[in-house]
Amino acid sequence: MGRRNRKRNRDGTNAAKNGSGDGGNDGQKRPEHYEEILRENQGFNLYYKTQKVIPEDEWDNFIKTMATNLPVAFRITGFRAEADILRGIVKDVYLKNFAAARTDDGNLVIPKSLPWYPRELAWQVNLTRQMIRRDEVFAKLHHFLISETVCGAISRQEAVSMIPPLVLDVQPNHKVSRKRNQLFSRSRIQVSVIDELVDSFCSEVLDMCAAPGSKTTQLLEMLYAGDDTRMSEGMVVANDADNKRCYMLVTQAKRLNSPNLVITNHDASVLPKMTETGPNGEKVALKFDRVLCDVPCSGDGTMRKNVDVWKKWNGANGNNLHWLQFRIARRGLELLKPDGIMVYSTCSLNPIEDEAILCRLLKEYPDCLEIIDVADKVPGLRTVPGVTTWKPMSRDLKFYENPEEIPEKFSSQIRAAMFPPSPEEAAAFHLDRCMRILPHHQDTGGFFLAAIRKLKPLRSVNSGPKSGEDRSSEEVQEKEKPADVVADEDDKMTPPKKRRFFGFREDPFIYFNQEEPCWKTIKDFFGVEGLDHRLLLSRNREEKKKNLYLTCAAVKDFIDCNQENVKVINTGIKAFIRCDGKNSDCEFRLAQEVGVNELLRFLNKRVVKLQREDALAILRKHDLEDPLQNSALCDETQEALKQLSTGSVVFVYETKMKDVEKTVRLALVGWKGAASVRAYVAKSDRVHLLRLCGGDTSYFENLDIEAKFGNKSANGDSAGNATQEEQDALKVAAEEIPVAV
């Protein structure tokens, strides 16, 4: 504890002794409310009017919109089969009955799907988070958003932050077409062998500045490409420089329950070399098919949400971040494969943080990079093209036309690379392919992004010694290289340096070997077939393992190759949990985190199919002290349970939706006792599954509403028990054609 904190504690103690009770506030009462921040900044107005980023005839509308609150937006997790059911529930139950509701400004509440997001899976409501939290009218919507967010079925994120993953266009297998062409060129290889080799390849994606993780979850969804009946072999490496924010990322990622994610903790501008196992078993440099480079920025596009930016904004903010943004983007390109795509994005409208970064990259590596047009990836999104001219401004609101005008006192803040390119360079760089989102066009925040294709390994045109800030991350990690050396030289492997890690010390990731003692018991008890047990890991070296985690093969290879030189914070999803002393033939039970999405397809035993009424009965029985008796279930379910010994089971309920050919399978991990059953399902997952089965969730909603608004709200129709109309809507949305099982 530092001297300042000790003094603050002493002041607080003295104040308490003096009877003030206000801690270290000098005995004065805290203000009852904070002063309203003035949403106005003359420097901001001057800067953006001069840059002409906003069309002149739209300025008044732009600045008026910037001074208003940002509407709430959320996205339904798209790769899950139940996404279509949940979309129907959103439309027909939770966003339907707002006809008489008004915002604080007196406007009608109008929910709408975002026109540029696929399948109506993203929605926006012209309410603020504060309105939803405090108003009883929106209590059910608030409970719905919270519970579905906790279980991972919904992501509450700003609308514009959903755009970069869409334009990055992640596919489950980016390597197929390129590798297939290479293999077909060798006529001696048979087609069947080619197909076998092609199937073993997978996509590798890097999210450089990932926390808090909403974009990362989108990238993971795309690896499944709408098919959640198999384990995707792709991998997403999500990195963040802030150790504490990495654990926020862990929390967010756990909601999606994906075995394809690795979370790392490094400064993105100097990410270490990473390796993977090559085709002949050798270590080769790991390069990524797609890179998301959403860099730290001044955030003036977020003023509608982060009101503090209004009073903190000044012309030097973007200048001070320019160098960090450039170094992060350059490192991302170094880690990108040839023919790969990197999306560079910021939540700033400032050309110094946007177009100037791209121009510098294109000048540094001519003929190696190109900006590509990705507008077709988001049809319906209104954008404006990138600008080709701009003027750097200093903190004292003075603009500069060229580097020669910069005074000595600002020479370290405003550099030559921040100035616009020549007209010829601007035309060659295709800056018009950049996309800037203006808040007043579609009631969003401000945003900028551009997609860059890497045509070939990077080769810098600069020569001579470089200053520290101009050195590439490769040069920071190694000795200085000649200027004409290919920057992707790390393809020629040298042993990576063992690094000193800071922050919390993580437990090791220890994968199963061929002789793992507990695996035979698990395999026989659950009838596991087709799962390579070497993809399971534990976090301790002791023989008695507490939890077992599952990853995909690409993640296992990443951990095996990089655990010594890359700080890995988290990977894997919980698959099995030790349950000693439960009178079971197996010392492990299944974990709900993974039972549905990944392990179920490998289980041939301990799976019990349910009718709808049985599923509802098990989910409604939330009291662990009074479990559901087997006799309360239908005859078919009772007969299936009689065949099983005491222990962990998976209950499965299947349904088909109208106009959807695929069967939607809902599963919950449970326990079969001597005469009773219970579900090992968290409250949020229980509520989620009840909704999907068409059940009444008002009991759980009332618990939260009563705690917040009191008994009156919990018992009233406006925020209490589900009306008959709502129950009917849930059944229609969730269960169109029950499947006989």
Rounded CA-CA distance 577/604 in Å is 19
Any idea how long the chain is?
741
Rounded CA-CA distance 620/687 in Å is 9
Residues annotated in a binding site for S-adenosyl-L-methionine: 209-215, 240, 267, 294
| Structure token pair of residue 333 | 């390109």
Task: Residue 246: name the closest of 2, 571, 3, 6 by CA.
Answer: 571
Q: Are 618 and 610 in contact (CB under 8 A)?
A: yes
Q: What pLDDT was estimated at residue 93?
A: 84
| Burial grade of 556 (CB within 10 A; 0-12, 13-18, 19 or more) | buried
| Per-residue pLDDT tens digits for 604-649 | 999 999 999 999 999 998 777 788 999 999 999 999 999 999 999 9
Rounded CA-CA distance 373/434 in Å is 8
Q: How far apart are the first and last CA of the chain?
A: 63
Q: What pLDDT was estimated at residue 557?
A: 95
Rounded CA-CA distance 715/719 in Å is 7
Helices (runs of H) and strands (runs of E) counted in the chain: 26, 27
Helix ranges (H only) for 18-162 are 42-51, 59-66, 83-89, 129-134, 139-150
| Structure token pair of residue 625 | 């002290």
Query: Which amino acid belongs to residue 236?
Result: V
Domain residue limits, the chain = 1-33, 68-157, 160-208+271-461, 606-738
Task: Give the other-Cβ count within 10 Å of 249's Cβ.
Answer: 27
Going along 429-544, which residue ranges are E strands? 435-437, 447-454, 510-511, 536-538
Give me the phi and psi of 677, to 5 degrees please: -135, 155
Rounded CA-CA distance 552/531 in Å is 10
Query: Which amino acid belongs to residue 143?
Result: H
| Per-residue pLDDT tens digits for 679-705 | 988 888 888 888 888 888 887 777 666
Give me the phi and psi of 264, to 5 degrees please: -120, 165
Strands 122-125 and 204-207: unpaired
Q: What pLDDT was estimated at residue 730?
A: 44
347 is catalytic: yes
Architecture of domain 160-208+271-461: 3-Layer(aba) Sandwich (3.40)
Annotated active-site residue in 297, 347, 359, 693:
347
Task: Residue 93: name the closest of 707, 683, 697 by CA.
Answer: 697
Q: Are 509 and 572 in contact (CB under 8 A)?
A: yes
In the 8-state DSSP scheme, what is residue 353?
T
Q: What pLDDT was estimated at residue 665?
A: 84
Give every residue of the chain whose pLDDT is below 70, as ranges.
1-35, 79-81, 97, 99-100, 106, 174-202, 225-230, 462-505, 543, 594-597, 657-662, 703-741
Is the link from the previous residue into 423 a cis peptide, with omega within 30 of 0? Answer: no
Rounded CA-CA distance 267/239 in Å is 8
Give me the phi and psi of 629, to 5 degrees please: -75, 145
Q: What pLDDT was estimated at residue 480?
A: 36
Burial 557-588 (b: 16+ CB within 10 A, else e): bbbebbeebbbbbbbbbbbbbebeeeebebbb
